[in-house]
Chain A
Amino acid sequence: MKELLRLEHIHFRYEEEYPAIKDVSATLYEGERVAVLGGNGAGKSTFFLCCNGVLQPQSGKMFLKGEEVTDSKKDVFRLRQAVGLVFQEPDSQIIAGTVENEVSFGPMNLRLEHSEVSRRTMQALTKMNLGGYQDRAPHYLSGGEKKRVSIADVLAMQPDMILLDEPTASLDPENVALLEQTLNELSRAGITLAISTHDVDFAWRFATRAIVLSGGRIIADACIDEVFASEPVLAEARLKKPLLYAMAELLEGNLSGDRVSWSPGREARRKPRRIEEFLGYIDCSSGRHGSGDLR
């Protein structure tokens, strides 16, 4: 995989406060699906704001596609063009009086031709199921619709990577499912996606890699399965295991205890990410389909 964004020993402190992120180093690759996990105040939002260039780290280096990003206007512009950021609260992001104006704000700042801005705006709106919302005022939309507008905002800029800060916060299950579907489509289109969340169930379904922050430091950066298998990491980050993961573990524990012999390498088996997979897992575990082998 090609490197997209690399952070080396990034350090950021808000005025007269303790450092929000300390000595953070990470590399994000093209097409990845990354979950940035951590409890409240772990530094997830600050990490994202640094990745997008809204916050300038006090020390450390950043590289976009191998080229160093300095604090020059040109470099910051290049970074913000390539790395889109969707804020947690849509009301913090939305500034325009109509949905169309709102979504066109980013492309207009890229100094594109009006026809191109119009094309991108329509494309982003269609992708986010917002066709017909162009003339609607954002302040009269529901929470889920506002969230979709805020994602369309960033999509219209056609970035290589999208950072979503707490994307599932205050969304109902239907909107979470819609969001997940959209993120899957974006991922299939080759866009790198990173979400910051403490919704471990969503992260477990969505991501392949997890970066865990605690007290502003990265305490784990690995395949998401490995992260959730590590009790010390979860304890330090004040995280719980995803429900399906925990249930699968419980099931494995029960099976290993009495009825089924535990074959070597069984621990490496991929835990179910969705309820359908879990049902298959139960079938397989209980030997209904013959072998009793969990793999």
Chain B
Amino acid sequence: MMTAALIMTVVWCLLYGRVPSVALALACAVLGVAFSLLGRHRHRPFVLVDVLAQSSRLNRVSPSLKLWVVLVLMALCVSASNLVVGVFLAVVALILIVPVGGLRLRDYLHLLALPVSFLMINGLALLFELTAQRTGVLGIHVLGSWFCVSAEAQSHAALVMARALGAVSCLYLLSLTTPMSEVIGTLRRVRCPGILIDLMYLTYRYIFILLLMFYTMRDAAASRLGFVDYQTSIRTTGHLYADLLLRSYRQAYRNFDAMESRCYGTGIRFLENRREMAGGHVATAVGITAITLGLSLSFR
């Protein structure tokens, strides 16, 4: 609901004076209702991302291809001097993730809700300016001062937000279609330092172990009225995190023992089955990159 309200406010401020008021109000209402119905934030987002990546139809596409294309697209998006590139990439990611990858629109919007909320808050900061007198296309009088939105601020905020939305969409394109273990495997193949790769593997695994531990402990605390009031909640949360830290140490020792028992020596190595790059996939990737580059160059 918060995200929906933010989206409505930011879109209104961004387009005020550029689009007829009735149409703008209608667009804001549609966006707000869509996000409040579909984009409610869910807990355990990281776990959800990983589950969705496992089941995506684009999981079969070579992870190396996806990683490199996403990196190039992100670079183009961030360096673009027009908002068309960002919007185009957001739409491409939506198409690839939802109808092509097989993810439900509702799930995608759930995931998008969190970064979009941050984006909107930043957008508000970029849009509004505190002045003594009313200037620009929109002004709100608060306690003797004016919060104004100028046309330049609208353009600037729109560009920054489009870049951010495009880049976030690209990241989601990668993370919602490629399990993290495959991303790490790809980084290993491009000679990323071994210590970083080992840390990535272990951190990735630990996120799940610690999350499971945390949820168990939290539920156990809740079952004994550990969150009955604000004060108790604070105290319980403190105990919970302290215990989690200790347990994570213990778990690390146990994991290391288990690795040693299987002849672990100089770095974590797994069997990696490389997924071949299919001609169609490469052609699609090249096509998307070429269009993005074209848009970036033609709307300077």
Contacts and interface: CB of A to CB of B under 8 A. Distances in A.
Interface string A116-131: 0110010000000000
Nearest to A55: B257
Given A87-B258, A137-B179, A117 B271 contact: yes
Count chain A CB atoms within 10 A of each CB in B212, B255, B265 and give the residue with the most. B255
Interface in A104-118: 104-110, 114, 117-118
Interface in A47-64: 49, 52-54
B241 interface: no
B89 to A, nearest CB: 27
A98 B261 contact: no
B117 to A, nearest CB: 28
A153 B208 CA distance: 19
A93 interface: yes
Given A92-B254, A105-B270, A114-B271, A97 B263 contact: no
B201 A97 contact: yes
A109 B263 contact: yes
Count chain A CB atoms within 10 A of each CB in B182, B201, B204, B260 and give the residue with the most. B260
Contacts of B180: 97
Interface residues of chain A: helix, strand, loop or mixed (majority): helix
A91 B209 contact: yes
A97 B53 CA distance: 12
A117 B262 CA distance: 14
Interface string A205-226: 0000000000000000000000
A237 interface: no
A65 to B, nearest CB: 18
Nearest to A77: B263
Contact of B181 (A84, A93, A97, A157): A97
A149 interface: no
A32 interface: no
Interface residues of B, number: 33
Count chain B CB atoms within 10 A of each CB in A49, A97, A98, A100 and give the residue with the most. A97
Count chain B CB atoms within 10 A of each CB in A91, A106, A157 and give the residue with the most. A91
A139 B257 contact: no
Given A92-B254, A97-B180, A109 B262 contact: yes
Contacts of B201: 95-97
Interface in B176-208: 179-182, 184, 201-202, 204-205, 208
Nearest to B252: A92
Contacts of A100: 270-271, 273
A200 to B, nearest CB: 26
Given A92-B254, A96-B270, A105-B270, A80 B261 contact: yes
Interface size class of A (residues with CB under 8 A): 35 or more
A157 B262 contact: yes
Contacts of A84: 261-262
B271 A54 contact: no
A43 to B, nearest CB: 16
B262 A98 contact: no
A157 B54 CA distance: 27
A101 interface: yes
B220 interface: no
A118 B270 CA distance: 10
Contact of B271 (A121, A136, A140): A121
23 contacts: A49-B257, A52-B261, A54-B260, A54-B261, A80-B263, A87-B257, A89-B254, A92-B255, A93-B258, A95-B205, A95-B268, A97-B179, A97-B181, A98-B179, A98-B181, A100-B271, A101-B181, A101-B271, A105-B259, A109-B263, A137-B50, A157-B262, A157-B263
Interface of B: 50-51, 54, 179-182, 184, 201-202, 204-205, 208-209, 212, 251, 254-255, 257-265, 268-273
